[in-house]
Structure 1
């Protein structure tokens, strides 16, 4: 057999992923904060792009995302030569069954205007230090100790090293610390959990020898080793149970009641509201969507001053092309998010009306097939996106759960609904009737849920619910 070289011409189809297509896909999975940061970077790079100002038009006429038609004034003329997509006629594409009869202006109250100032733990401590009769040296020590105070109320600092850095005696630091430990809230400036509980018990005049032995053996309390605790404390079972109730009434992290820094709030990407005509109104939150404009006047003026075919003209055309691509990508991103959100609301209508017990099993493929997109697109859209509903704020991925078969031949139940049902069954247990995991399986089957015991155990442990033996002990303690 002889080998020879030959030229063959063959036609082949293949999909080439362009850089812009990769960027469009990446935009889908960005959270709104990351999206705004990305758009800011594009605004810095592209001289033709501009951010829309808040006074760029009437509130009711400004859509959430801009595309590519002329912004017009009241007389229908172009305003400032700025181009955007999303004329008032296209505003409806960002909403589903939008009804503005209840809110004719389309505006929403600014929640920040109703937020009250919350005092932090360090502010609270600083105010008490200022009102305490310290000497100048003691006030300096108190300030240094307060600077090492954690948000939980605990003090994590070596007193000897602190005394050395301040050039004072360790006894002076300990004396100031004893004063600070009397501050409100009770238990702050403790260095360990045992010391925190001891401070609170001393202020209640309840730190007797038996209680001191109990506080010194918190590991036994955690293990619920009641027999050993009775021997260490020298009390009977009734007294021990009373002492444990007192311990559980204390605050192990007294600083947590204070706000640590600025409150972190979740801004939903999708708003779901009851419609006056029935059903649900689904729309995108305009605050999460960047507003971008193309300055056509600037493009025309610069084009007139550049030579055709020059590098400057090529750069300007590239900027215009990138600007149009960004606007189209933002437009497509908003449309896709809305489509996914509308389908989720349609699938989970029973949940919105009746609660978690009626959450349906839902997969990414089901939503993808319904809106005719790829399953990976739905996965990207639902990442780090949140929906505000009458039931609260939920991440879009919350609505996608696996199916649990029904024991009565009806519709399957979602895993989240089953977890909620398990939690509800355990919540109403009495000390004399604490159910094992097998008993919970029986109760679930009575309500039409067919689930294995190991599944109940897995869900229970995932919710940090102790076993039936531990729950029975806790019920006896009244917690």
Structure 2
């Protein structure tokens, strides 16, 4: 939208932009990040409409690391298609550069990169298939599980260390969204039990667009230009109305978190906000990925307010990860907890998750397994 406005402002004499940030060159230079890059690359895949719907579901599950933050089954359910169809689209998405994007695990991420760089030898593949063995038993356990010699395992690991375990993180430096003024401003108003929220689009970043008039006896080309300017002005007004609907629905749903009454956002999926705002789920996804909001908690990305619920846990994924991180941070350095022990601690808090789920979320946080933490401490990555 920003680039479209900039182009229109340069090429239409009946369209005028005013207000802060309305310079066409500034508007055209809006920042981009991982999701913007992936969206562009998806455009080159020539997907069918059904495949595009599945790709959108995958994009919504793409974490900043470049890994998938949902299972194939969850994406298939979200897109309303069979799992086999979803896997076929995933294979195409995993062709997007940089290699390793849309991986479901560390092993798959490294495998995609190794194959792309011609490093996927039989030894490297064997190590990747048995990579989990290194967590508890070190190199010797990995050698035994993979059927390789210690020397061969060392060589394979040396090749794997040249790869990037989080290929999406490189886009963080290019994403300047938090370095510019927020797109929304959410302010608490009223007193006592009559308190509420005022959610507005930030005037500091929102240019005023005005369609200038044209005489009826003007040449046809000028009348057409004036009509185009009026159409664009109406489209911008509709766009702003949609943005406000999404922003206000988000604030209503996450009011307790934004007021700092609870430490983590409530479980929330984009479909719920789409229903509240009366828009399509893909619209909510685009707004969430691109925009920020000034709140009592500071400037936050709208995407951070979404977190799918944990099955059987009664909390969001972000809250679960925060709890796992706090449990590990408090563990005795000499006796770190196993994933099973962490699962037991969570169960005592009323959060029922499997040991393998604990391992997956721990890896997402960049926290190594128990055997590595015993040697290096809880916060150093493996």
TM interval, shorter chain, is: 0.5 to 0.7
Partner of 1:348: 254
Query: In the aligned structure 2, how far is the partner of 1:42 from the partner of 1:289?
Result: 16
SS of residue paired to 1:360: coil
CA distance in 2, matches of 1:477, 1:417: 18
CA distance, structure 2, for counterparts of residue 439 and residue 387 of structure 1: 38
TM-aligned CA deviation for residue 377 of structure 1: 2.3
Whole-angstrom distance in 2 between the partners of 1:454 and 1:464: 15
Aligned match of 1:274: 188
Partner of 1:455: 357
**Equivalent position SS for 1:337:** helix
Superposed CA deviations along residues 11-67 of structure 1, whole A, max 9, x for unmatched, are xxxxxxxxxxxxxxxx4xxxxxxx1x321210121111122257xxxxxxxxxxxxx
Out of 186, 193, 212, the position equivalent to 1:295 is 212
Does residue 319 of structure 1 match 2:225?
A: yes
The 1:263/1:326 distance shift into structure 2, 3 A limit, reads closer
Q: Which runs of 5+ in 1 are unaligned?
A: 1-26, 28-34, 55-222, 226-261, 307-311
Following superposition, the deviation at residue 382 of structure 1 comes to 2.1
Q: 1:386 to 1:476 in 2, by over 3 A?
A: closer
Q: How many residues align?
A: 226
**1:403 maps onto 2:309 in alignment:** yes
Structure 2: how far apart are the matches of 1:436 and 1:446?
A: 16
Call closer, same or farther: CA 1:53–1:387 in 2, change over 3 Å: closer
Query: How far, CA to CA, are the matches of 1:326 and 1:476 in structure 2?
Result: 54
How far residue 429 of structure 1 moved from its aligned partner, in angstroms, is 1.5
| TM-score normalised over the length of structure 2 | 0.54
CA distance in 1 between partners of 2:341 and 2:332 (Å): 14
Contact (CA 8 Å) 1:339, 1:371: kept in 2 or not?
A: yes
TM-score calculated relative to the size of structure 1: 0.43
Q: Pairwise mapping of residues 334-413 of structure 1 onto structure 2 (< 5 A)?
A: 334-354=240-260, 357-406=263-312, 412-413=314-315
* 1:468 partnered with 2:382: no
Does the aligned pair in 1 maintain the 2:186–2:200 contact within 8 Å?
yes
Distance in 2 (alpha carbons) for counterparts of 1:426 and 1:451: 16
Which of residues 434, 442, 454 in structure 1 aligns to 2:344? 442
Q: CA offset at residue 476 of structure 1? A: 10
Query: Shift in Å at residue 280 of structure 1?
Result: 2.5
Give, in whole Å, the separation in 2 of the partners of 1:289 and 1:325: 18
Is 2:368–2:380's contact at 8 Å kept on the other side of the alignment? no
Equivalent pair of 1:351/1:358 in contact (CA under 8 Å): yes
Cα displacement string for residues 113-142 of structure 1 (whole angstroms, at most 9, x for unaligned residues): xxxxxxxxxxxxxxxxxxxxxxxxxxxxxx
2:259 aligned counterpart, secondary structure? helix
Cα distance in structure 1, aligned partners of 2:271 and 2:177: 37
8 Å CA contact retained: 2:270, 2:306 = yes
Q: How does 1:132-171 map to 2 (within 5 A)?
A: none
For the structure 1 residues 335 and 473, does the alpha-carbon distance in structure 2 shift closer, same or farther, using more than 3 Å as the test? same
CA contact (8 A) 2:308 2:316 kept: yes
Distance 1:446 1:335, change over 3 A: same
Q: Output aligned runs, 1:182-197, within 5 Å.
A: none
Instruction: Return 5+ residue gaps in structure 2 as ranges.
Output: 21-136, 140-175
Measured in 1, the distance between the counterparts of 2:352 and 2:262 equals 18
Root mean square deviation of aligned Cα? 3.0
Secondary structure of the residue that 1:280 maps to in structure 2?
Answer: strand
- Which of 171, 179, 184 matches 1:265? 179
Work out the CA distance in 1 between the residues paired with 2:259 and 2:326.
19
Q: Relative contact order (C-alpha < 8 Å, sep 6+): which is higher?
A: 1
2:14 aligned residue? 48
Rounded to whole Å, the distance in 2 between the matches of 1:398 and 1:477 is 22
Q: 1:266 to 1:442 in 2, by over 3 A?
A: farther
CA–CA distance in 1 between the matches of 2:321 and 2:333? 22
SS in 2 for 1:441: helix
Once residues 264 and 351 of structure 1 are traced to their aligned partners in structure 2, the CA distance between those partners, rounded to angstroms, is 20
- Relative distance call for 1:477 and 1:375 in structure 2 (3 A) is closer
Kept after mapping to 2: 8 A contact 1:355/1:391? no
Whole-angstrom distance in 2 between the partners of 1:415 and 1:374: 23
Shift of 1:325: 1.1
